[in-house]
Amino acid sequence: MAVQHSPLAQFTIERLIPLHLGRIDVSYTNSALMMTIVVVLITGLLVFATRRAQLVPGRLQSVAELIYEFTARMVDENLGAEGRAFFPFIFSLFTFLLFGNLISLIPFSYSFTAQIVVTAALALFVFLLVTIVAFVRHGFHFFSFFLPEGTPLIMAPLIIPIEIVSYLARPVTLAIRLFANMMAEHALMVIFAGFAVALGYFFFLPVLIDVAIYALEVIVFSLQAYIFAILSVLYLRDALYLH
């Protein structure tokens, strides 16, 4: 049970619509609600931005084109022509995380990317996709990935275990990086907001710090979405080209 006024209370998952499939709890929660809102916002942006596309773009079209071109450049520069088939996935992943991170800055909203179960599910999906792509493209030659070309065979007993552990750690680090950063930033804002109440007449000092943190978080949260997406792209590059 989350403690009242605790900086971590904001991350509590609450059931909005209790649902069960046998013993499995599939309730619709506040986290699921925010994810639904994000998907609706992204869909609405793309639909309205492209419905009447103009040579001189308006605000919505400019935002949609900026995100599209940014993602396309990320994919092209790292995966080349062969990687364009993965553009829809990377675009969906990046926009989902970007909107999810930024919408959590709205007061009284909820940060689903600060939930380890969400980031772990996304990271595991990326890991499985990358592994499947590697096997489909290279077959059993994929295992050569764990022994870089040119490595002396005498070093194989040392290098192969290290490479395997490094590969298996990818979804763990990918999930924890996003989850930990989102949780820490949101908790920090709540802590400084609490200072504002406690300091009475000097409330403006932590408020000013909170405003500065808020502005910084816009950059940090956008960067976290980019880091997750670019690491997914780099993992796909390894699957396509093996080093």
Q: How many CB atoms lie within 10 A of CB 171?
A: 21
Q: Are the beta carbons of 86 and 71 closer than 8 angstroms?
A: no
Per-residue pLDDT tens over the stretch 50-73:
887 676 677 888 888 899 999 999
Given CA atoms 41, 43, 44, 45 in this order, what sign does their dihedral have? Answer: positive
- Calculate the CA 153 to chain-centre distance: 38
How confident is the model over 42-50, as a mean pLDDT? 89
Reported pTM:
0.86
Q: What tens digit of pLDDT does each residue of 165-213 get? A: 999 999 999 999 999 988 888 787 777 666 666 655 555 666 676 677 7
Scanning the chain, the segments in alpha helix (DSSP H) are 30-51, 59-79, 87-103, 116-138, 156-168, 170-198, 204-241
Contacts of residue 228, Cβ cutoff 8 Å, sequence gap at least 6:
93, 94, 97, 122, 174, 177, 178
As a whole number, the mean pLDDT across the chain is: 85
Q: What is the mean pLDDT of residues 136-165?
A: 86
DSSP secondary-structure letter at 56?
Answer: S
Percentage, residues of the chain above pLDDT 70 = 88
pLDDT score, position 56: 66
